[in-house]
Structure 1
């Protein structure tokens, strides 16, 4: 596999957000008077409408983004890649590492005011783990043998064997059991609460204009620090060019994905700030091993030596990326920086093909073997520069 991790760019309109406090009379230059205060509205542009806002439905990047403001799981991934508290405020392991006991926060309520407790988690896990469950999260629960709620504030996970990363089983966001009834997996997609969810996070859904926008408002039952903004507008704007036009016109405050070719122009606009974010998005070449030629590791390695990764980063991504040697991006703690990608070496690539028996026997500049020309089909996404 040949990976090129891509650096994401978030673009924000300078001055978006809450209004500033009025300056005290006669003290216009006081720095404190210019300090932003909580409140107001922020508007994001996204490229597609979320198919659902149910935590257990298959998610897309946009649904994950929106749900991230409304939901959170038992544990949450921290900036350093470690697990931190979420709904669970603490946890401990049995000596053999096969049982996990979690203590839940006692101050959480659903956005309708009903208390959130361990029964909600158990009901959600039973739904996801059901035999007819189509949910991707089911794979995370495979190591789990049992889940029990001895009291409203306690969960006990029992694993058949000591799992490699047992807390992965704790990232499923719960559903509100008090409105689930006899909900079955096949009914979740059409369940009204999949588009009008109850939440425990800082925001709740206030309005959804299909195909156009979603409006989130502060969740009055959220026990943590109130969200900085009173409401969040998420506009569905499929065309990246239109997103930038709306940003420059002040119709949206934040655009999450910027065409790299627009960066230089946007940097000259004093009203716009670009925020590079190191991400884990990767473009890779995946070999189809049912093709006879690709069953030979020397051919696959020759392709690797033939790819000029740095030229792709520089020419296609305008330098916003880096060649990678594995599927683990540098932002993750498990990334091994000592592993390096194959260099661009056409000479070595040619040597490997010759060793594998692929040579140009008829002078047509195409290598062949046993009367068959070396021909491969590259399948890619329309509009993908890389």
Structure 2
């Protein structure tokens, strides 16, 4: 009997041992590795070429694909990225950057001074017609290679916000090999040196970035990041609640409190330097008359927008740039005064019933369609007949980039990724500004913007921008609406995701448990 029991035990141990060996050979599931992170946004990117992208959605993705010379940390301080150190000449017109050694692009090419020069030469070349040329070309004279890992920038003048501008997502460094091979299609086939690399893009469905296994810096914590365009507010919220999405942006104001009560979800409202505005085509009647532009500002009830539509997740804009942006000066809001609006319209000779066109995207900004419908009602209350049109984001971007497309009023916003007033004002309000979709032109303002760009004394710069902001308020090429907050929804098992003051969705440190 003892021998029988011993044999039985021995047989069981052999059987268990065999099962263990089978598990280790793959018959049982292995320990789970890094996961996929799904991010649902209100629209999809326009381009993955950071030097040719002017929309924030595109930059959420390009920040993962490309590295820059320098970047902002979580506290908005300039910190090294591809450049480990830098120095400025005595006259302030030459800057030299020493690069990290050993960094490589996702195609295996080295990140060196030649690559940095090639990337900036590409954007400085006006024949390439890149959307973000003016961000750099207005102050960079040339870029030169000093050694394999040293590159110098020669400036046209001392430019105070140089480092902040190089930290802009549009400063991402391309692989020269890839840009040479892909040409104009590089926005669909990007290669940078960042922690995530391009895998696939099915327009209207998803953009997939996968972890770069050879990243020179801190290794990515998730296997891939999938961006999905989800226009419907309710659908984005539902995806977060069910776990179909790990991160959503924006959260509709009506869902914020409900989502906060879900123990599987985290909701954070991040401060943002983005201003939401309604631009006017100042070259078309009746918007070529400053009284009409001021009238529209008096006609819109900003407090109700903040309290009822945004449900407190914004505040009335007191200038053309946010209070978080360096160089901000509160020049004040136009109070809600529909009678004043009617008076100014009468003085300008605008007849009741005049038809104007108001265009809006849907899903790109917090409560964008609802806000635009409210503005439509406000303007109809002072006598306009307002034709309302809702657009898909990509088509909308193309339409408002063309001054002949027929817009009168258009809802848009502006964040300042450099966090400096120069890039808050120069692209939008200078006569030749790259984003001057209102076609506004004012010689005095042009001179102030130019002066602010070339002045290095901080107090003098602040005074210059205070004067500029007052002119912009008085001339009113925008209906100044609200300073926005950035509501981001994240599943509880996701860490390392946050919103920056410059309204970037930061995903580099994302981790999914």
TM-score normalised by length of structure 2: 0.57
Alignment root-mean-square deviation, CA: 3.1
Which shifted more, 144-153 or 219-228? 219-228
Once residues 74 and 269 of structure 1 are traced to their aligned partners in structure 2, the CA distance between those partners, rounded to angstroms, is 40
Matched, 1:117 2:112: yes
The C-alpha deviation readout for 1:34-74, integer Å capped at 9, x for no partner, is xxx99333221134443432333334333211121221211
Tell me, what secondary structure is at the counterpart of 2:315? coil
**Count of residue pairs the alignment pairs up:** 330
Partner of 2:230: 237
Cα deviations by residue, 1:175-206 (Å, 9 ceiling, x for unpaired): 1124444x5xxx63335xx4343331222234
Distance 2:282 2:178 in 1: 48
Structure 2 gaps, min length 5: 1-31, 363-368, 372-513
**Alignment-derived partner of residue 311 in structure 2:** 318
Partners of 1:57 and 1:189 within 8 A in 2: no
Compute the displacement of 1:291 (Å): 5.7
Distance 2:310 2:153 in 1: 45
Find out whether 1:380 has 2:359 as its counterpart: yes
Q: Displacement, 1:321? A: 0.7
Equivalent position of 1:16 in the other structure: none
Q: CA deviation at 1:87?
A: 1.3
Alignment-derived partner of residue 220 in structure 1: 213
Identify if the C-alpha distance between structure 1 residues 132 and 372 changes in structure 2 by more than 3 Å, giving closer, same or farther: same
- The within-5 A match list for 1:362-381 is 369=349, 375=354, 377=356, 379-381=358-360
Quote the Cα distance in structure 1 between the aligned partners of 2:65 and 2:287.
46
Measured in 1, the distance between the counterparts of 2:90 and 2:263 equals: 58
| Aligned equivalent of 1:131, options 95, 102, 126 | 126
Instruction: Specify whether residues 344 and 48 from structure 1 end up closer, same or farther in structure 2 by C-alpha distance, changes over 3 A only.
Output: closer
Distance in 2, Cα, partners of 1:58 & 1:201: 17
Matches within 5 A, 1:32-111: 39-111=34-106
Offset at 1:132?
1.4
Higher helix share: 2
Corresponding residue for residue 151 of structure 2: 155
Deviation at 1:103, TM superposition (A): 1.1
Query: Do 2:298 and 2:338's aligned partners in 1 also have CA atoms closer than 8 Å?
Result: yes
| 1:102 and 1:156 in contact (8 A); partners too | yes
Contact 2:42 2:249 (C-alpha < 8 Å) held by counterparts: no
Partner SS for 2:185: coil
Further displaced range: 57-66 or 254-263 = 57-66
Partner secondary structure for residue 275 of structure 1: strand
- 1:340 corresponds to 2:332: yes
- Secondary structure, counterpart of 2:305 in structure 1: helix
Q: What is the distance in 2 between the residues matched to 1:53 and 1:286?
A: 26
Per the alignment, do residues 250 and 149 of structure 1 end up closer, same or farther by CA in structure 2, a change over 3 Å counting? same
- Cα pair distance change 1:234/1:131, threshold 3 Å: closer
> How do 1:223-372 residues align onto structure 2 when only pairs under 5 Å count?
223-290=216-283, 297=290, 300-336=293-329, 338-345=330-337, 353=344, 358=347, 369=349
8 Å contact from structure 1 (residues 111, 204) kept in 2: yes
Q: Is the 8 A contact 1:101 1:155 kept in 2?
A: yes
- Contact residue 172 and residue 192 of structure 2 kept, 8 A: no
Q: TM-score, normalising length from structure 1? A: 0.74
Higher RCO, 1 or 2 (CA under 8 Å, sep at least 6)? 1
Question: What is aligned with 1:361?
Answer: none
In 2 relative to 1, CA 219–57 (structure 1 residues): closer, same or farther, beyond 3 Å? same
Q: Give the conservation status (yes or no) of the 8 Å contact 1:92–1:102.
A: yes
**Are residues 245 and 287 of structure 1, via their aligned partners in 2, closer, same or farther at CA, if it must alter by over 3 Å?**
closer
Change (3 A) 1:344 1:243: closer
Partners of 2:203 and 2:351 in 1: CA distance: 54
Structure 1: distance between partners of 2:111 and 2:227: 27
Please state if 1:198 is matched with 2:191.
yes
Residues of 1 paired with 2:199 and 2:282: CA distance?
A: 49
> What is the deviation of 1:324?
0.9
Q: Residue 70 of structure 2 contacts residue 83 of structure 2 at CA under 8 Å; is this kept in 1?
A: yes
Give SS of 2:360's match. Answer: coil
Deviation at 1:153, TM superposition (A): 0.8
- Deviation of residue 88 (structure 1)? 1.4
